[in-house]
Structures are given as C-alpha cells and as structure tokens.
C-alpha cells in the first residue's frame, strides 16, 4: 500500500513539475524529503541562476524549454529576452543596424529633393519669384447683356407725311447725319413756301424802304411815307424770322431751303417743297425698321419713327444683386465675365440703383462693357464676378504652388541642389492666390506649376529611406 501511494505522489509531482516549471525550491525540497523525487543539490546562487546551463530540451540558443530562468523571487520584466553569451541578437523586421546607429530619417536630408534645372524643365515644373500683390475678393452674380441706353437712338418723324424712300436695310451701318429715309409732306411744303414768300416780301419792302429813306434825306417825300415804308420793312423782316424758326422746328435749314428753291427754278418739272429728309442722329447700325414705303406717319396712331439705330461698340450688363450683398457693390468696381467662349471680358460698374425692385427684392446694377468686336449680343445671359474688395499683402502666392502633406500646407523652394520642402501658414485668399503669413519671404523662388510632381518625389524618397 505504501508503495502504491509513493508511485501516485511521484506521478502527481512529475505532472506538477511539467505544468509549473517555476515551482519554488522549497516545494521541490519537500517532495524530495518525502522520497517522491530525487534530492537536488543546494540551491544555486543568483549569479548561477541568471546563466543556466543548456539542457536536453534547450533550443540551441540557451533558452530553457519554457522561457528564461530568473533568480528566486526576481520578477520577470515584461518583454525581456535573455540570450546566452556570444549569441547574435536578432534584428526586428530583418534590419541590422550597427551599434549606435540612429533609426528613422537622416535629419540633414529630410524634406529635400535633388533635381537639376534640366530635370525640372522636363517635368514642366515652372518657377516664380515670391512677391507681394493684391488679393481681390469677388461676388458671383448673374446678368443680362442689354443695349447701352446712351448709344441707341430712333429716327423720329417730326411732320405729317408719307414715306417715299427707305434707304437703309436692317444691319447696315450708318453715319451720324446721314439721310436714311425721305418723306413726302404737305406740312413741309407749306413751311417752305411761307419762308420763301416771306423772304421775297422782305426783299421788296427793303427796296421800298431804301428809296423812301433817300427821298426823305433830300426832303423830297413826306415823313409819313418814310415811316410807312420803314414799318412795312420791319414787318416783313419779322415774318422772315418767324418762317425761319418754323423751318428750324421741323429740322430744316433755311439756307438749304433757299438753295433748293433756286435749284428748282432750273428744273420746273421737279419740286423739293414737299421733300423731307430723315437723318440718323448717331453713328451705328440699323437694328430695327418700323415702316415701309408708302406708310403714313406723323398723325396720332401712326408710327412716330422709322428706324432704330444702335452703337453696339459698348453694351450694358444688367445685374440683379440681392439686398444682402448690395452694400458690398460700389460704382467703379471691376466686373469680369466667367464661363463661355468669351470669358475674361472686363467691365466696370457705372450705376447702382438706390431703389429696390418690389417683386424680386433686388437692386438694378449697370455694368458698362466694351464690345469692339461685337461678340456680346443684347439678350445674352452671362455670369459675372463683381469685385467687392482688394487687400494688399506682402507675400502673394498662386494656389497651384500649395500642396498638403500630412495635414500641413507646404511649398517647394528652389535651392542649389534642387528643391526643399517649406511649411507655410496661409492667410487671406481670393480665386487665384493665397496670402502667405509665415514660411516664405519676397525673393524666394518657388515651384508654382506641377508642384505635385515634387510632392510625389518627396513621398517616394521618404518611403525608400524607411525600408
């Protein structure tokens, strides 16, 4: 029975020893005293325990089967791994570094890219010198091209008559003062006749007055005859002046009327009394024709004009600016058209209405736009950028020069070997550029086109260095 118990305790001890290799020396001594295990020698010193001899289960690197052996009561530091003397320490991730070698990037070459001027040119990397400038802020507003009201005119009908000639077609160019149509008018004939009659009457009365004055000076005629002749001449002169003013009111020139009358004397079969010429009040193009030959004009209900002439070398853009943005728009502000084939055309605000449209709750803003090549046609819808502010900055840089790396805004500055990364701080901005607060100074040479190529080169260089 005792032998059976001894064998049982021995089996239990062997199992406990295998499962818990770190059973204290005291427990193992107790088992040896009971005769269940072989007695071991005196406990080794701490110095001996830190360097155990290899056993049959050693893995060839001086390791015990289940880890390191430490001195009695000494806690095992986490992650500690002891090696036997002379054993080479394995390097993490397969890298070997000499003793004292620093890990990571070489601080001296960090953020630098070696690139010659020829290589930069081959990759279309364009450089620009950093300098100050103006940041312009804009307001995006839709608008409509309209005719310039100061450059449009109608050819009016000032008399009652009938259209006898129409000399211009739609789209034809006209000069200022050029005859564009001819009317046949009884009213004009009467006005011309009155003037010519008054002129002849005045000439006769002047002759009679001159004769009576000569007789009166010689004391041959009576004073009453002289006074009557003078009164008649004054009245005739007054009638001539009145007839001339009537011609002027109709747009006729008295001298031309008198010359036409003398011309008619040589051609009795033709008369210019009823002829009334309509002239263009400005130079431009015929954009509208109101009547045809034979149309009665001048009376109530009849057409009041025959042509519309416009000078389209300058047009207007009518903008509808919301009340919330109206305070930002100033007369004289620069306006640029965006989008379309003719984007980039510039005009200027000439009028900001102080009255709001009750339906749209917006104010009318007029922009004068040059149109020398006639590209802008009235009625066209456009989108415009209205300049609302200008800020002068010490350092202005195009947006194409800015790149983002690791959440930081950077630029690439040209140096003797190539380029170097430079972190910058951004301030105000407009549509094309940023204000640079820190990181650059006027005179620095910076990559402003295709700078993303340098960003890619920098990332590749850092990746190669890490591996």
Alpha helices in 135-222 (DSSP H): 186-217
Tell me, what's the pLDDT at 80?
42
Per-residue pLDDT tens, the chain, 467 aa: give them.
555 555 555 566 555 555 444 444 544 554 454 454 444 444 443 333 333 333 333 443 444 334 343 434 444 444 444 444 434 444 433 344 333 333 333 444 567 888 888 888 888 888 889 888 888 888 888 999 999 999 999 999 989 999 999 999 999 999 999 999 999 999 998 999 899 999 999 999 999 998 888 888 888 878 888 899 999 999 999 999 999 999 888 888 888 888 888 777 777 666 788 889 999 999 999 999 999 999 999 888 888 899 999 999 999 999 988 888 888 898 999 999 987 666 788 999 999 988 888 888 888 899 999 998 888 989 999 999 898 878 888 888 888 888 888 888 999 998 888 898 889 998 888 878 888 999 888 888 898 888 888 888 887 766 665 55
Contacts (Cβ under 8 Å, ≥6 apart) of 260 = 192, 272
Per the DSSP assignment, residues forming a β-bridge with 14 are none
DSSP 276-330: EEEE-SSSEEEEEE---TT-EESSTTS-SEEEEEE-TTEEEEEEEEEHHHHTT--
Residues near 349 by beta carbon (within 8 Å), at least 6 away in sequence: 329, 330, 331, 332, 333, 335, 365, 366, 367, 386
DSSP 8-state class, residue 45: P
Return the number of other C-beta atoms located less than 10 Å from residue 370's C-beta.
Answer: 13
For residue 45, what pLDDT is reported?
39
Q: Which helix (H) or strand (E) holds 272?
A: none
Provide CB contacts within 8 A for 135, sequence distance 6+.
390, 391, 392, 393, 396, 428, 429, 430, 433, 435
Query: Where do the H-state alpha helices sit in 359-443?
Result: none
Phi, psi of 228 (to 5 degrees): -65, -40
Let me know: does 164 contact 188? Beta carbons within 8 Å: no
């Amino acid at each position: 029975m005792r032998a059976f118990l001894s064998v049982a305790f021995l089996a239990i001890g062997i199992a406990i020893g295998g499962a818990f290799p770190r059973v204290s020396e005291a427990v193992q001594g107790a088992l040896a005293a009971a005769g269940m295990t072989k007695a071991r020698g005196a406990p080794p010193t701490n110095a001996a325990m830190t360097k155990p001899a290899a056993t049959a289960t050693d893995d060839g690197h001086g390791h015990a089967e289940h880890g390191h052996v430490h001195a009695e009561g000494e806690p095992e530091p986490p992650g500690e791994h002891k090696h036997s003397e002379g054993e080479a320490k394995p390097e993490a991730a397969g890298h070997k570094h000499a003793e004292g070698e620093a890990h990571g990037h070489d601080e001296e070459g960090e953020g630098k890219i070696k690139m010659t001027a020829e290589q930069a040119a081959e990759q279309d990397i364009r450089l620009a010198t950093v300098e100050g400038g103006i940041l312009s802020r804009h307001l995006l507003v839709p608008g409509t091209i309209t005719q310039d009201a100061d450059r449009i005119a109608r050819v009016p009908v000032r008399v009652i008559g009938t259209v006898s000639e129409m000399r211009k077609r739609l789209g034809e160019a006209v000069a200022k003062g050029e005859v564009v149509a001819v009317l046949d008018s009884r009213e004009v004939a009467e006005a011309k006749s009155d003037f010519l009659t008054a002129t002849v009457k005045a000439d006769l009365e002047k002759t009679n007055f001159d004769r009576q004055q000569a007789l009166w000076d010689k004391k041959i005629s009576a004073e009453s005859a002289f006074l009557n002749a003078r009164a008649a001449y004054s009245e005739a002169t007054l009638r001539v002046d009145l007839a001339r003013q009537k011609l002027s009111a109709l747009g006729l020139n008295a001298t031309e009327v008198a010359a036409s009358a003398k011309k008619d004397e040589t051609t009795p079969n033709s008369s210019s009394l009823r002829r009334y010429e309509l002239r263009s009040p400005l130079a431009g193009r015929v954009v509208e024709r109101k009547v045809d030959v034979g149309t009665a004009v001048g009376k109530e209900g009849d057409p009041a004009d025959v042509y519309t002439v416009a000078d389209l070398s300058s047009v207007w853009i009518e903008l509808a600016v919301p009340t919330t943005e109206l305070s930002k728009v100033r007369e004289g502000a620069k306006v640029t058209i965006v989008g379309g084939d003719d984007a980039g055309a510039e005009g200027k605000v000439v009028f900001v209405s102080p009255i709001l449209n009750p339906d749209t709750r917006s104010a009318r803003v007029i922009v004068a736009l040059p149109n020398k090549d006639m590209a802008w046609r009235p009625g066209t819808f456009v989108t415009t950028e209205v300049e609302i502010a200008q800020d002068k900055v010490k350092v202005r840089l195009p947006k194409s020069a800015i790149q983002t790396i690791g959440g930081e805004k950077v630029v690439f500055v040209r140096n003797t070997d190539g380029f170097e990364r430079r972190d910058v701080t951004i301030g105000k901005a407009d549509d094309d550029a940023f204000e640079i607060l820190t990181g650059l100074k006027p005179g620095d040479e910076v990559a402003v086109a295709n700078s993303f190529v340098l960003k890619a080169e920098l990332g590749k260089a850092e990746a190669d260095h890490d591996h």
